[in-house]
Chain A
Amino acid sequence: MLSRTADHLFWMSRYIERAENIARMLDVNYRMSMVPQADGGVDAGWGATLSITGLEDAFRVKHPAATMDAVLEFMVFDGTNPSSILSCLRMARENAHAVRGTITSEMWETTNDTWLKMRDYPHWKLAGSEIGEFFEWVKFRSHLSRGVTLGTMLRDEAFHFIRLGTFLERADATARFIDVKYHMLVDGAAPPDEAADYYQWSALLRSVSAFEVYRKVYRDLITPVKVAELLILNDQMPRSLRTSMGEVHENLLAVSNYRSTETERRAGELEANLRFGRIEDVFARGLHEYLTQFIVRANDLGNRISDDFLVPMSSS
């Protein structure tokens, strides 16, 4: 397959996954904002969504304060923000457009249709009670996109590069979600408030569709360590780091070429760490440091995949 084609496929699915994760993050924060909180708690939550995406500076240039309306406008509709849902869905569509001969017509139609609806989505709807509906819509378009991939794509290289994009992006997003929530809850200056904490932890679980999953797996009260274990190490939880890296490694092996040996080794090593890791050790080392390391290593994999397959620098 053409390197450029693989590049478009990889980024197409990455952007769809990114749009979904941003919707998840905003959705949970929106729900949290309805729970009674200490003064400033609501805005702190919206500020945290910006720090997950690393966009505080770009945001401050345009908006004086991280209010709900300002953050939503910036993260949903702002075409100049490369990480807004609008931008992600546009980039997904542009990447799909460039390889529409490689993907199935169902895939192209799904991606194109998502973009057309997003482009025409009335802004006022976000101000009203339909905001939750919008986030659901984004999530379901992403589900649909993955479903169409699984249901219609030949299991060839194209499929594997699409899956690589999805899971590398998901690994990164889940790691950031956990990191920011823990930072707010455990390292934050706010005094521990049992009731609020319950909602914060359950919010983190909900943001990755893991609330019911937690109950099923642990049949126990929600505790920070178990939440981290579920989202980092559990091999049955579809959005955990462990599952995501397992998919990354597997799909990478499927496209292996004459220069990707070192990349495969690093992916395998990262997966092995998660497979054999213990949550006690993670906390002993420091969760924040662990997650930061993980994000750096996932990012390194992304760069290496790009060099080995997608944008080979030399012509040899």
Chain B
Amino acid sequence: MANPSSIYDEMNGADGSVRGHYAGYKKWLAETPPERIAQKRAEADLVFHRVGITFAVYGEEEGKERLIPFDVVPRIIPAQEWKQLAAGLRQRVKALNMFLHDVYHDHEIIKAGKVPAEQILSNSQYRPEMQGVDVPGGIYAHIAGVDVVRAGAGEFYVLEDNLRVPSGVSYMLEDRRMMMRLFPELFSRYRVAPVEHYPDMLLANLRAVAPIGVTDPTVAVLTPGAYNSAYFEHAFLAQQMGVELVEGQDLFVRDEQLFMRTTQGPRRVDVIYRRIDDDFLDPLAFRPDSMLGVPGLLQVYRAGRVTLANAIGTGVADDKSIYPYVPDMIRFYLGEEPLLNNVPTFMCRKKEDLAYVLAHLDELVVKETHGAGGYGMLIGPRASKDEIERFRQLIIESPERYIAQPTLALSACPTFVDAGIAPRHIDLRPFVLSGKDINMVPGGLTRVALREGSLVVNSSQGGGTKDTWVLEV
């Protein structure tokens, strides 16, 4: 574990002086009576509860909803830094989409010896059903939620690419709305790049990838239903885009077309922004017990009569066992050097890496290759002896299921906690949209680990969120 003094603080320099882009905020904070901030924080809680921006946590009492804690100290990113980040994200997502096209077509990257064939073709996220299928514009990951962390000044690492059904964008939008409601005066002091147009951008992006020949496409958001943990977001995005929010039971396939049941009879659907995992999309093709999907959907999709965003089979590119190859993908497809860092990764399926990992479990972060949401991971420096031994056994039993990475010294941002304001670790999830072009709104969702010293920012593990400000000057 990095020692606390070496942790990069987003607001304050190592010598205690405030960083330039935070100076105005810190001054405002000093001038503002603590009671006023306390009152605003209470107001935020109240509003979020009334509006119902909550999420369900698996494993807790059924149907119970919890508020994701919202912190009123913004995470501020200077214009220049964002420019670099954005260029890196564009580059990375472009290469990942080219990789997916290659995986489901000619396997050039395998032939070139850059990625071992079995890593792709034996991956449980690889979908043989997609082999040879052409998707509009060759875009697979229309919406990517790339998790980025900062280790030092100008030093950004990508932790995960999240190319399946990344969530959290509604919190980005609601956090901004809340900050503007609570502290309008801050927005006259700072020129903060707007993010409110994200739903428009998303809709334009989805319409741009409609099946060929469809001029005025009907778009719908497909949700697993009201009990899904991200249901709020599904409903929010459908409403903001002005499209239908559908469940599997609202859709049916007839004559190789997808329709939704409406009060005026069946209506054709051309683009589905699906928030359901591949496995549940079509009970005839994937999990037969799925009640969430649409029988026959895959057939319509393969025939090019409907676009799914994201495409089926994107998991093969954001899997943790593929992650270490992303820098090589960028070099291979784009002929460029990667602009963003990858975290050095030990692949336990490799003998020499496995030996190193087992000998250094107390220093490393161990992750399941298919895991997500902060479940099933070991943070060596914070783990008990028992936990380490438990993981040792798990890794020895099936080494191919695990990777390990050095513990990064994630940057920290001042955050309201019980005892006042204290630094807490943060990450950033920008949402990268790929259609005709690659677009994103400045910033993204900043997640913060509220427990002291914790590195896990996932909302399911007690993480909170912050408004993210990209400055225009």
A126 to chain B, nearest CB (A): 25
* A102 at interface, CB cutoff 8 A: yes
* A2 at interface, CB cutoff 8 A: yes
Could you tell me if A315 and B261 are in contact, using CB atoms closer than 8 angstroms?
Answer: yes
Residues of A within 8 A of B400 (CB): none
Residues of A within 8 A of B471 (CB): none
* B309 at interface, CB cutoff 8 A: no
Residue of A nearest to B63 (CB): A94
* B263 at interface, CB cutoff 8 A: yes
Given known contacts A94-B226, A101-B245, A109-B51, A1 and B263 CB-to-CB distance under 8 angstroms: yes
Could you tell me if A101 and B264 are in contact, using CB atoms closer than 8 angstroms?
Answer: no
Residue of B nearest to A96 (CB): B52
Residues of B within 8 A of A315 (CB): 252, 254, 259, 261, 266
Complex interface bits, A1-33 against B, C-beta within 8 A gives 1, otherwise 0:
111111000000000000000000000000000
Given known contacts A101-B239, A105-B51, A3 and B263 CB-to-CB distance under 8 angstroms: yes
Q: Which chain A residues in 88-106 approach chain B with CB under 8 Å?
A: 94, 97-102, 105
* B230 at interface, CB cutoff 8 A: no
The residue that A3 contacts in the complex, of B225, B236, B262, with Cβ under 8 A, is B262
Given known contacts A3-B250, A102-B239, A316 and B266 CB-to-CB distance under 8 angstroms: yes
Number of residue pairs spanning A and B whose beta carbons lie under 8 angstroms apart: 66
A304 to chain B, nearest CB (A): 14
A190 to chain B, nearest CB (A): 47
* A112 at interface, CB cutoff 8 A: yes
A283 to chain B, nearest CB (A): 40
Could you tell me if B263 and A309 are in contact, using CB atoms closer than 8 angstroms?
Answer: yes
A97 to B227, CA, bound (A): 10
* A273 at interface, CB cutoff 8 A: no
A102 to chain B, nearest CB (A): 7
Could you tell me if A97 and B226 are in contact, using CB atoms closer than 8 angstroms?
Answer: yes
Chain A interface, number of residues (Cβ within 8 angstroms): 29
Residues of B within 8 A of A312 (CB): 261
A307 to chain B, nearest CB (A): 12
Could you tell me if B261 and A98 are in contact, using CB atoms closer than 8 angstroms?
Answer: no
Residue of B nearest to A311 (CB): B261
Residues of A within 8 A of B264 (CB): 1, 257-258
Residues of B within 8 A of A99 (CB): 245
The residue that A2 contacts in the complex, of B52, B236, B250, B252, with Cβ under 8 A, is B250
Q: Which chain A residues in 106-123 approach chain B with CB under 8 Å?
A: 108-109, 112-113, 116
B338 to chain A, nearest CB (A): 39
Residues of A within 8 A of B50 (CB): 109, 112-113
A113 to B254, CA, bound (A): 42
Q: Is the interface of A mostly helix, strand, loop or mixed?
A: helix
Residue of B nearest to A113 (CB): B50
For B246, B250, B254, B262, the residue with the greatest tally of chain A CB atoms inside 10 Å of its CB is B262
* B11 at interface, CB cutoff 8 A: no
A117 to chain B, nearest CB (A): 11
Residues of A within 8 A of B252 (CB): 315
Complex interface bits, B14-55 against A, C-beta within 8 A gives 1, otherwise 0:
000000000000000000000000000000000001111000
Could you tell me if A257 and B245 are in contact, using CB atoms closer than 8 angstroms?
Answer: no
Residues of A within 8 A of B232 (CB): 100
* A255 at interface, CB cutoff 8 A: yes
A3 to B52, CA, bound (A): 24
* B249 at interface, CB cutoff 8 A: yes
A2 to chain B, nearest CB (A): 5
The residue that B261 contacts in the complex, of A2, A105, A112, A255, with Cβ under 8 A, is A2
Residues of A within 8 A of B245 (CB): 5, 99, 101-102
Residue of A nearest to B235 (CB): A101
Residue of A nearest to B47 (CB): A109
* A250 at interface, CB cutoff 8 A: no
Q: List 11 A-B contacts (CB under 8 A).
A: A1-B262, A3-B250, A4-B247, A5-B244, A5-B245, A94-B226, A101-B238, A109-B50, A109-B52, A161-B263, A257-B263
Footprint of A on B, CB under 8 Å?
49-52, 225-226, 232, 235-236, 238-239, 244-247, 249-250, 252, 254, 259-266
Footprint of B on A, CB under 8 Å?
1-6, 94, 97-102, 105, 108-109, 112-113, 116, 157, 161, 255, 257-258, 309-310, 312, 315-316
9 smallest A-B Cβ distances: which pairs? Answer: A101-B239, A101-B235, A101-B238, A3-B261, A309-B263, A98-B226, A315-B252, A101-B245, A100-B235
